[in-house]
Structure formats: structure tokens, C-alpha cells
Structure 1
Amino acid sequence: MNQRTLKESVSFEGIGIHSGEYSKIVVHPERENVGIRFLKAGVYVPAKLEFVVNTDHSTDLGKDGIVIKTVEHLMAVFFMLGIDNATVEFLKGFEVPILDGSGYYFYKVLKDKVIVLPTLADILEISLSFEVRNSKGYIKALPYEKLSVAYVGSINGFFEERVVEFNGNVKDIVFARTFCYDYELEHLHRKGLAKGGSLKNALLLGKGFVYNKGGMRCEDEPLRHKLLDLIGDLALIGKRIKGRIVSYRGGHTLNYLFVKSLRDHLKTHQTLELSQK
């Protein structure tokens, strides 16, 4: 399995869902082993765990005073398409455009522009089972022959617990839009979030009904979006992953804690390998 990049640069533009500011980004191809990184005002911010500066309703990266906000949807598409190397340059703004609230438009533009590089991709193989918990839920990892990611949750007023899964088919989740409940809006606005949110780029849920014309794209769309977010956060490990990951009611903060455990798992695994040689 080789590394991948793009055959040409592509651009995206639109409002940032939390900042409310207009952004324009250009995704550039990169050579082998560069990884995914963001560029603003001359500062390169690697898309890696070490540069996460916020996990409150989005995953934000930062370095040298530069903050790049809401990277998870774009990162999820990179990860699912196997794009290992790219630079995302900000020409305007500092938040990745929300577009329609899903990863669909990123996927639509990028999917036919992927090219294979001659260098092998780095793969993190989960060899031992482990679990990370917080007060809201848990994420566990299990050895498995390929990447499999599942999310378990419920949607207030719609259904009790159910499971959604990603087993390699991008179309299963890439269309799923970000969402919130109507009773959360005031709290988000008080925190200075969701300034760019609208029914054009997010699902707004009431108790058993949807404010958006046309409703949900599928009956468990919010859970599929949580799965998309999880994959975008997993991408911050900076490697392909081989294993099964199951999240129970996780969010960005728990995702971050889990990726830290993945990193430690990698270090431990490497140490074991070295000690056996």
C-alpha cells in the first residue's frame, strides 16, 4: 500500500460554521513523507495530534500563534481517500469552510484527483486491545485485519441506541451533515460558536422533528456524522490504521484522548519490536 497525493491543486471556499468568517483554501499536492499540513501567513501547521489546541465542538490546530479551525471533515476525506501528503493553504480566513456541513463536496472534488506515489505508506497496526473512557462514553480498539470504525449512539426524540459502521465505503458516511439540537443553540452562541451555522450547512433537530426542509438524508444521519468526525480525528495520528475501533457516545475530546493512546500504543509496539531484535 503506497502513499498518495493529488495530481493538481484544488480550491474550496465558503463560510466557517463557528467563526462565521469567509474562508478560501487551496489544497496542493505534496511529495512523499510530507504528510498533511495547513499553511497560513507563512506558518505550516502539521495535521498531527501534537498541534491540537481545541476540541470543543470542533478540532482545531495551532502553532506559533496561528490557529486553524474545524479541520475534521476535510481530514476525514483525506483519510478515507488515502491521501497522505497535501498542503492546505489558507488564502482567506482561518476556518475550513463548512460547505454543506458534510464531507461530500470535498470528496466529490478530490476523489478523481488522487495519485499514487512510489513510497510505501506508514501503517499503524493495532496489536493489543485497549480502551479510553471519559464521563460521556468510551472508545476501544481491537486487532483486526483491516480498518473498521463503528459509532454507537442515540438521537434524542428519534431513536435509542444503534450502530453505524465504516468499512471502507466512503459513500456510507461522507454525505452526513453536522447537527445540533435546538435547545443547544443559545449555549453555543454564548460561547461564540456556530456564528456561521444555518439550515444550509447543518441539521437542526427538535424533539422528534427536523427543522431542515427535506429532513435527514437518512434516518441515522447524525450518527453517521459523528462517525465522520471520529475518522477525521483519527487521521491526526498521521498514519494509516489497521484495526477495529468502536466509539460509544464519543465526541471530539474523547477522540483526542483516544488518538493520544494510539500514539502511545505505537511507541510501545516499536519498543517491543526493538527489544525482541
Structure 2
Amino acid sequence: MQKTISHAIRFDGIALHSGRPARLVIRPAPAGSGIVFRRTDLGAAAPIIPASWDRVVQSPLCTRLVGADGVSVSTVEHVMAALVGCGIHNATLDIDGSELPIVDGSAAPFVTKILAVGLVSQAAPVQAFRIVRPVEVSRGATRARLSPNDTLRMEFTIDFADAAIGVQTKTLDMSDGSFVRELSNARTFCRKADVDLMHAKGLALGGSLENAVVVDGDKVLSPGGLRHADEAVRHKMLDALGDLGLAGLPVIGLYQGVRAGHALTNELMRAVFSDPANYRIFTCATVPAAHLPALGAPFGALARAA
């Protein structure tokens, strides 16, 4: 059955790119309502922005959604990954500005509070998108592909010049709570050489060693080092799961990313939904519940450190 969060939960922090204070409240929502963002800073008639792939606009280094009235919300990918990974189908996310708080740069703070308050089953069946034929998009050396599979399975490869990252490849079946255990605490990362460039462009103004992994050649500058030896590729998978969550229903298929980012994953989603022959919509009567993300993810099952 569909699920929502049992009680409202609040997050206060800094917006990664603007550097401004940001507050997010995740609230329960009725069955069938999906995930929506609400800009509470814009008055009593707070604009609603659906968490949908067709609301994504090009934005460097994050996923940005724009509503029908032009109001936007940015950096939604981490909380979307947490919602998908914890099995929440319906929620209203109140945000008091144009960007979500970055918290620690991962999805773990969201997951911790979600699992602590628990989920509520609702009187409506879960539906899912099953990919039935391969769809691929590419830009130069980057590639993203969805193809048929019995579960949501992810394969990702990254390649960075800095020795602290280098070439990393990971494959993970996303069913039975593996997101919570394996990916949820992987933090966003960047190269020290890129920090000044981002600041000059008005980006990452709220970034710090407390909410991102910063590398310089073979060195990890963030206190405490890495949470996983392959934390970078795990975070790219976390991002991709959040972007796939904008399908509006769980996706069942094999996602393969090679140096892919937010823009390419959204381009893939647009290619998939451009032709109804690429997918089928099933209910859990025909899609075994164990094939969906989030099951078997009890409180305390946060991602393991390598």
C-alpha cells in the first residue's frame, strides 16, 4: 500500500548554493497526492511545485523544479532520494525559500528523522513504472540508460583526475532497504580547484567542509576523511535515485550511468516518457512488493561506513 510520513519533521540549515538560511518541513499527505513542494515564504496561497521530471529546468550542479507560475525550488535531489529510499509515496514539503537546506551534504539526516517518526500505510495500492525497452541518452563521454529489469538496479561509473576519487564503479540492487544501508550517508563532493570557480559564479556559497567532501589531488580535506572508500560514486547513485524519483512512481528497471549528472538523468527521463511504448504502469498486484525500494529499512539501519 502507499505510505506517507506519520508526523511532520523539520530541518534547519544553510542552502548550499545561495548560502542563505533554509528551513524544510516534511508533512504527511493524502493517498494519491504524490510528492509536492510548497513555497511557504510566498504568503498564504503558497505556490505548489510538483516533484516531477517535466518541471526540471537546467541548473548547474543541482536539480531545480519550476512550477506553473514560474516559482522554483532547487537542490531537491537529496530529499527526493530519502523519500524514494524510505518508501514514501505522498508528502508535502514546505520550504521557506528557493533552495533546500544542504544539512550534511547527504540524505542521512532526512532518512534518520523519517525512520524515527515512522511511516503510515494508506488505503491505496502502490503503482510503479516498469521499463519495457531500453532507452539511452549520451553527451560525449557521459551516458545514461534505462533498460528492463525485475527490480530497480543501478550501475554507475565515475572518472576524476584527482587521485582521491579516480575511477569508481558500483552496482547495487535498490530493493529491500539497500539505499538506507549503502547510499544514504554518502556526501556531495567537489574538487578544491573548482571551489573558487563556483564561488565566482555565485554557486556553493553555503558549501563548507562540514557539508561536502573536498578533495585536492590525492588528499581529502574534509575532517574525518571519507565515510566510504568509494563515497563519491555512492553519492552519484544517491543523486540519480533522487532524480529518478521525479518519475512520480517507483521505477523498475536497470539504470546505468557513466559520468552522468542531473541534467543527463533528466534528459533520460524525458526520453523514456516521450514514448509510452518504453514503459508500463503496474500495481503491486503484478509487481511484487519486495522488488520496490525501501522495504526492510528499519530505524537505525543507516548506511554502513566502509
| TM-score (ref. length: structure 1) | 0.92
What's the counterpart of residue 66 of structure 2? 62
| TM-aligned CA distance change 1:143 to 1:12, over 3 Å | same
- For 2:232, the aligned partner's letter is P
Contact 1:55-1:256 at 8 Å conserved across structures: no
- Aligned-pair RMSD on alpha carbons? 1.6
| Distance in structure 2 (CA, Å) of the matches to 1:160 and 1:6 | 38
Distance apart, 1:270 and its partner CA: 5.8
Counterpart among 219, 228, 232 of residue 222 in structure 1: 232
Q: Describe the superposition over 1:231-276 as per-residue Cα deviations: whole angstroms up to 9, x where unpaired.
A: 11111111111111110110111111011122224465469xxxxx
CA positional deviation for 1:54: 2.9
Match of 1:227, SS state, is: helix
Match of residue 2 from structure 2? 3
Do the aligned partners of residues 110 and 43 (structure 1) sit closer, same or farther apart at CA in structure 2, a change above 3 Å counting?
A: same
- Secondary structure of the 2:246 match is helix
Match for residue 26 of structure 1? 25
1:179 and 2:175 correspond: no
Unpaired runs of 5+ in structure 2? 282-306
Question: Are 2:213 and 1:208 aligned?
Answer: no
Contiguous gaps of at least 5 residues in structure 1: 272-277
Distance 2:104 2:83 in 1: 17
Residues 229 and 252, structure 1, Cα contact 8 Å, conserved in 2? yes
For 1:27 and 1:178, how far apart are their aligned partners in 2? 22
Deviations along 1:63-82, one digit per CA (max 9) or x if unpaired, are: 21321110000000111112
Q: Give the match for residue 94 of structure 1.
A: 98
Q: Secondary structure at the match of 1:119?
A: coil
Query: In the alignment, which residue of structure 1 is the partner of 2:56?
Result: 52
Q: How many residues align?
A: 269
What's the secondary structure of 1:165's corresponding residue? strand
Residue number in structure 1 paired with 2:148: 143
TM-score, normalised relative to structure 2: 0.84
Cα displacement (A) at 1:135: 2.1
Stretch of structure 1 that moved more, 147-156 or 26-35: 147-156
Aligned position for 1:134: 139
Greater percentage in strand: 1
Give the alignment partner of residue 73 of structure 1, picking from 73, 78, 81.
Answer: 78
Identical columns (%): 30
| Partner residue of 1:117 out of 119, 122, 125 | 122
Aligned to 1:108: 112
